[in-house]
Amino acid sequence: VQSPEYVSISLASAISLRFAPGRFYRDAAPTCANLLLAYDQPCLANCSYCGLAREREVQPDDRSFIRVPWPVVPSGDVIERLARHGTGRICVSMVTHARAYRDTLALVRSLRETDTAPVSVLVAPNLLDRSRLEELRDAGAGMIGVGLDAASARVFERRRGRSVRGPLSWANYWHVMETAVAVFGRGNVNCHLVLGLGETDREMVETVVRLREAGIAAYLFCFYPEAGSRMARARRPSLVRWRRLQLVKHLLEARQLALEDIAFDPAGRVASLPASAALEAAIASGLPFMTDGCPGEDGAMACNRPFGSYRPGEAFRDYPFQPEAADLEQVRRQLRLTGLLRP
Ligand code: SF4
C-alpha cells in the first residue's frame, strides 16, 4: 500500500472528502486538499521535529505528520472525490524517497487532467534540479512550496543537517527556491518557516526580508511538538511571541515596516515597533493572524490547514477563516501592544 497507487491525506482532507467521519470545530473546514506521498520506508531525512523522520522512536505504523494521522487511501478515489466535492487548491507533498519525484509528477498530471483546482507541490529540494522543476511546471503545477522550516543556517544545521545525521543543506534549499522563482515566476514560490525551532526573532525577521527580496512568500508555521520526534518535549513559542511575529511578518511583506525600524533586545527578541496607522489597520483587518497558504483561483488564501498547530478548543495559532470581532479582541490582548509600540 504505497504511492503512486495510494497517497496519504491530511485528516482534515479525509473528513471533508468523507473518507473519515468527523466535524470541524467552528466550522473550520479545509479549503485545500493536502496529499502526501506514502511509502513503506520512512523519509530518508532525519529532521528533529518531524513525525516522518528516519530515526523516530516509534513503530512505522504509528507515524504521524503534523501530529495527526494521515490516512492512506487509493489515489484514484481521491482524484474522483476531489472532482465530485470540489476544493480551492490541491497540494502534493513530496518526501525524501527514491521514487518521490517520479510519483509526484504522475500525480500532478492526473490531478490536472480533472482540472478540479490549481495544484501546488511542496517539494523535497534535495531531489530536484532546474529541469525537474520545469517538468513539474509543464505537468500543470502552478506553485512551488519549500519547507525550509528553519529560519537560519544555524538552526537548519542543528535541526535538519549534520547535527542530526540528516542529508539536507541550507544552501541547497535556497538554490532550489531561487531556481523555482526563475521557472515559476515571482509570487509563485513560497517558503514554510516554523517559529519555535530555536531561532531568534531577529533571525526570523531577516529571513522574511531575504525571501521578500527574492520574490518568495514567507508562510509562518507555529511549532507544535510531535510525539516520538527528537523535539517531542520542546516547548511551543509563547502566544505573545507568535502574535508579534505574525504581525511583523505581515507588515514587512506589505512594506509597511522596515527592518531598521524594528528594535531588538540583546537576545535578538523584538523589543519595540513604531506605532503607525498601517499597523492599526493591519490588526483590524485580521489578515496577519490568518493561516499563510497558497491561494485559490480567486486569489484569496485557500490552504487554511485548520488545527495544524493547535487543538480544537485551544487558542487558534493561525485562523483558518476570517477572525471575528471577539477573536480580534483576544489577538489584541495576546499582542500586549502597550509594551511593544513606541510613539
Ligand atoms: S501553503 Fe499549503 S498548498 Fe501551499 S505549498 Fe504549503 S501546504 Fe501546499
The rounded distance, in Å, linking the Cα atoms of 155 and 280 is 32
| 3-state secondary structure at position 84 | helix
Give, as one character, the DSSP assignment of residue 339: G
Grid coordinates standing for 317? 495559532
The CB of 303 under 6 Å from ligand 1? The reply is yes
Q: How many angstroms from the chain centroid is the CA of residue 88?
A: 16
Contact indicator for 263, 272 with CB cutoff of 8 Å:
yes
Percent of the chain at pLDDT exceeding 70: 96
pLDDT at residue 321 is higher than 90: yes
Determine which residue's CA is closest to atom 6 belonging to ligand 1.
145
**Cα of 92 from ligand 1 centre, angstroms:** 8
Q: What is the pLDDT of residue 323?
A: 97
**Cα of 261 from ligand 1 centre, angstroms:** 31
Q: What is the pLDDT of residue 68?
A: 58
**Going by C-beta distance under 8 Å and a sequence separation of 6 or more, which residues neighbour residue 190?**
143, 144, 145, 146, 216, 217, 218, 219, 292, 294
Over residues 62-105, the pLDDT tens digits come to 445 445 578 899 999 999 999 999 999 999 999 999 999 999 99
User: Which of ligand 1's atoms lies nearest the C-alpha of 190?
Assistant: 5
Contact indicator for 33, 92 with CB cutoff of 8 Å:
no
**Cα of 277 from ligand 1 centre, angstroms:** 31
The rounded distance, in Å, linking the Cα atoms of 310 and 312 is 7
Strand-pair partners of 145: 122, 190
Give, as one character, the DSSP assignment of residue 165: T
The CB of 148 under 6 Å from ligand 1? The reply is no
Q: 336, 321, 337: which is closest to 26 by C-alpha?
A: 321
Over residues 220-230, the pLDDT tens digits come to 999 999 888 99
Q: What is the pLDDT of residue 65?
A: 47
Work out the average pLDDT over 121-146: 97
**Cα of 147 from ligand 1 centre, angstroms:** 9
Over residues 6-51, the pLDDT tens digits come to 999 988 899 999 998 888 888 899 999 999 999 988 888 899 998 8
Determine which residue's CA is closest to atom 1 belonging to ligand 1.
293
**Cα of 341 from ligand 1 centre, angstroms:** 32
Determine which residue's CA is closest to atom 5 belonging to ligand 1.
145
pLDDT at residue 61 is higher than 60: no
Determine which residue's CA is closest to atom 4 belonging to ligand 1.
294
Q: What is the pLDDT of residue 60?
A: 47
**Weakest-pLDDT range from 2-16, 140-154, 320-334:** 2-16
**Cα of 342 from ligand 1 centre, angstroms:** 35
The CB of 219 under 6 Å from ligand 1? The reply is yes
The CB of 291 under 6 Å from ligand 1? The reply is no
Q: How many angstroms from the chain centroid is the CA of residue 278?
A: 26
Grid coordinates standing for 262? 524594528
Work out the average pLDDT over 196-213: 98
The rounded distance, in Å, linking the Cα atoms of 200 and 198 is 7
pLDDT mean across residues, the chain: 93
The rounded distance, in Å, linking the Cα atoms of 184 and 213 is 16
Strand order of the β-sheet with 189-195 is 72-74, 6-9, 32-37, 89-93, 119-123, 141-149, 189-195, 217-222
The CB of 282 under 6 Å from ligand 1? The reply is no
